[in-house]
Each structure stands twice: as C-alpha cells, then as structure tokens.
Amino acid sequence: MRKGHLAVIAFILSFSTGARADGIVSEVGRCQTIFTVAAPEGYAVVEWASGPVPAKGDTLVRKLNVTGQTNVALANGSGVGILIESYGMNLAAATQMLKNQCGLQTTLFGIRPPAR
C-alpha cells in the first residue's frame, strides 16, 4: 500500500472513532429524570426527554460536550432523547447541580448508599 492510501485510511478512521464518545450514568436524581453522566469531557447534568429512561451504570453513546436537546443511544442501541443542561464539570459541581434540581436518591430511612 502506498503512503497516500494509509494517510487517507487514517484520516477516515479518525472521523469514525472521533464521533463516538461514551458517557456512563453515574448518579440519578430523586425525580428519576435528571442524572449525571461521567464523560471524557467531564461530568454532564442531563435531563431525560424521550425513550427508555437511563439507569445508573448505563452507557450513553454520543459526544456530550454541547448543551441543548440531542439524541443518544444506550449501549443496547435504544434511542434516548436528552437535554444536556451542563457539561465539562467536576464531580462535586455536577452532584451539587443534580441535588439542587431534584435531590439525590435515598434508601430506607433517608440514608444514601455509600459511594463505590
């Protein structure tokens, strides 16, 4: 193969792999429709809009580095409509924003489970 062909293949692969950035749902608010997502760009606070509601530990497939409404996919391929309220935050800021918007989930007697 010529060097030119290899350069073209590398260029195409950079676009196909660069378009995908996964985020993992790290915390779900008490309201069950607002959650934080750990993404390569930092934490995002996301509100569910349509499709199956993501749960803690679910993977969202798509870049999460822009605010506004967008569509993502779960790892199983199901489409989910979300509203990205903020992104690029550290964990403390994202958790505080989630807490301010709808509270954090609690278990029996109002005690939060310990962080893993």
22-28 and 68-74 as β-strands: parallel, antiparallel, unpaired? unpaired
Q: Is residue 6 part of a domain?
A: no
Q: Is residue 8 part of a domain?
A: no
Contact 83, 46 (CB under 8 A): yes
Neighbours of 10 (CB within 10 A): 9
Q: Which helix (H) or strand (E) holds 94?
A: helix 91-102
Which structural domain range is residue 50 located in? Answer: 20-106
Q: Is residue 57 part of a domain?
A: yes
Q: Is residue 3 part of a domain?
A: no
The predicted-structure confidence for 18-51, as pLDDT tens digits, reads as follows 445 689 999 898 888 999 999 998 999 999 999 9
Neighbours of 88 (CB within 10 A): 14
Which pTM was predicted?
Answer: 0.71
User: For residue 68, is it left (φ>0), alpha (ψ between -120 and 50) or beta?
Assistant: left
As for how many domains the chain has, the answer is 1
Q: Is residue 113 part of a domain?
A: no
Q: Is residue 4 part of a domain?
A: no
What is the band of 90 on the pLDDT scale with cuts at 50, 70, 90? very high
